[in-house]
Structure 1
Amino acid sequence: MSGVVLNGHGGSEMLEWRDDLPVPVLRESDVLVRVSATGVNNTDINTRTAWYSKGEAEADEASWSGTPLTFPRIQGADVCGKIVAVGAVIDADRIGQRVLIEPCIREANGDTLKTP
């Protein structure tokens, strides 16, 4: 798998194109999306530059959630693409469907979603 990884806080020099990224292992309720297009938003940039930290001394702990980040990491949540594989409890008919990822969905059909 190919993609851009963030190797630490800093400028664009901290971004690296890689062709050797492992394909994620799907859990039973996951789908794997082949990304066709993605965007860079302010959260991606602010995370990379450690803007979320409280001060320069805490830059290694900067993150949106307050939990220290681990590197390298793949950023980005503004994604569209096609489903190429599904977990055990997902209908296989979903393979080939075009999807837009909304990372902030917390509710569906009136039910609060749980993260595994």
Structure 2
Amino acid sequence: MIPALVTLLGFQLAGEVASRALGLPLPGPVLGMVALVIAFSLWPALVDVVRPVAQGLLAHLSLLFVPAGVGVVAHLPVLAAEGPAIAVALVGSTVLAIAVGALAFAGVARLTGNSEGEPRHD
């Protein structure tokens, strides 16, 4: 268990150091996760070392949302004041994402000569 935790936290630390040292706009844990995936592909035995701890963390992932929930409750007055703007932004971005996705699908379907959206059987 300790080697797996050291591995996970080591990759997170390496990602954080790389992000800050290089001034990258990506969060350190994301860089660490990318490095961990690369390490998994280079050394498949590493997967077996990390798997038990990763499965344990994933089994209790909902506990990690408790601090975020407490933060939301602690800032309810701010949310109440900014709620309408947040709701408009959420709804607007969702509608825009669906529209762009539909337009992209229609464009690709037109380019491939398939208007029904089904795979071509050439």
TM-score w.r.t. structure 1 length?
A: 0.20
The structure having more radius of gyration, on CA atoms, is 2
TM-score w.r.t. structure 2 length?
A: 0.19
Give the helix-richer structure, 1 or 2. 2
Give the strand-richer structure, 1 or 2. 1
